[in-house]
Amino acid sequence: MGDRIAEGKVAASDADLILAVLDRDDREAFAELVRRHQSKIRTVLRRLTGGDTAFADDLAQDTFVLAWRNLKSFRFEARFSTWLYRIAFNAWQSEARKRRELLLESMDEAPAADAAMFVELPDIASRIDLERAIATLSDGERAAIAACYYADLTHEEAAKALGMPVGTVKTHVLRAKAKLRARLNAKETPR
């Protein structure tokens, strides 16, 4: 009987599960939503926090608790995952400001990548190298990469989630990718 209920939850859509939470305070339904989305949310937050897994998981927990508290305000027009990302980005922005007093809009003053950096990427680049390279980006660039690649949002969705103009998101992505190429190439190219 319990197994059948659990199977039903697994088969249910996000919208069905949300309605179950709203109508019946159904915690099993919410647990299934957490199971479905935890990996993506935690990955995005790990990239945003520069690989600080403990901090990222704290923020992910806050994200889901906030989602639970504010589920009534969820409009079924957008994907639930997009809504969750927005909460996660807000949680990260607010904590980042608190921790380091850094504003998302501030651009990294590191030298911009030049044409010489645009050489062929190595075929085998480890995830650890990529994670470290992402950690060196500015907050804005990291957020744009996390939104557009890890959260798989469009530029427009990313702009909404991050509270910045679409043009800024595009600029951040371009600059971030140039820097990532440079970092990964430097790692591979023997001196």
**Contact residues: another protein, CB under 8 A:** 25, 27, 30-31, 34-35, 38-39, 42-43, 57, 60-61, 64-65, 68-69, 118-121, 123, 125, 127, 130-131, 145, 149-150, 152, 177, 180-181, 184
Minimum CB separation of residue 143 from another protein in Å reads: 14
Whichever of 74 and 149 has its CB closer to another protein, that residue is: 149
Minimum CB separation of residue 105 from another protein in Å reads: 23
Whichever of 53 and 103 has its CB closer to another protein, that residue is: 53
**How many angstroms separate the most distant Cα atoms in the chain?**
65
Q: Return the sign of the alpha-carbon dihedral for residues 120, 148, 143, 49.
A: negative
Residues 51 and 132: beta-carbon distance below 8 Å: yes
Minimum CB separation of residue 127 from another protein in Å reads: 5
Whichever of 60 and 104 has its CB closer to another protein, that residue is: 60
Minimum CB separation of residue 190 from another protein in Å reads: 19
Whichever of 35 and 99 has its CB closer to another protein, that residue is: 35
